[in-house]
Amino acid sequence: MTRDEMFAYALTRPGAEDSTLHGGRCVRVRGHWIVNDSREAGALALALDHGTVAFLMETEPQTYFQTPHFEGWPAVLVRFAAADDSRLREQIDKAWARRATKAQRKAHGFDG
């Protein structure tokens, strides 16, 4: 998946809006970013819960990582070219679900 494909997919999620953050591109849901440009070449930031971040970094460290800037935050950097496309879409869906309304989550099968 390319950077542009990652942003394009995130923008297909209900309520997603193209925006900017700190001079870079991001996708927001209800005012909160879910995918954000990164200063790390070949990587984008993805807003996920701490448990998912830890799991991804442990199981796929070649793809999911953090710099000191992100340590302690519910976000992970993803080397989008190295990521499995279907797994990355799943993670974008999780990022969306964290910010979506209860009704949006239910309508799209995210009851949990």
Cα separation, 73 vs 13, in Å, equals 23
Domain residues of the chain, as ranges?
Answer: 3-103
Contact 53, 63 (CB under 8 A): no
35, 44 in Cβ contact below 8 A?
yes
Measured from the Cβ of residue 47, the count of other Cβ atoms closer than 10 Å reads 24
| Rg of the chain taking only CA atoms, in angstroms | 13
Question: pTM, whole model, 2 decimals?
Answer: 0.93
pLDDT at 112 over 60: no
Q: How confident is the model at residue 110 (pLDDT cuts 50, 70, 90)?
A: confident
- Measure the CA–CA gap between 99 and 80, rounded to whole angstroms: 21
Q: What is the CATH number of domain 3-103?
A: 3.90.1150.30
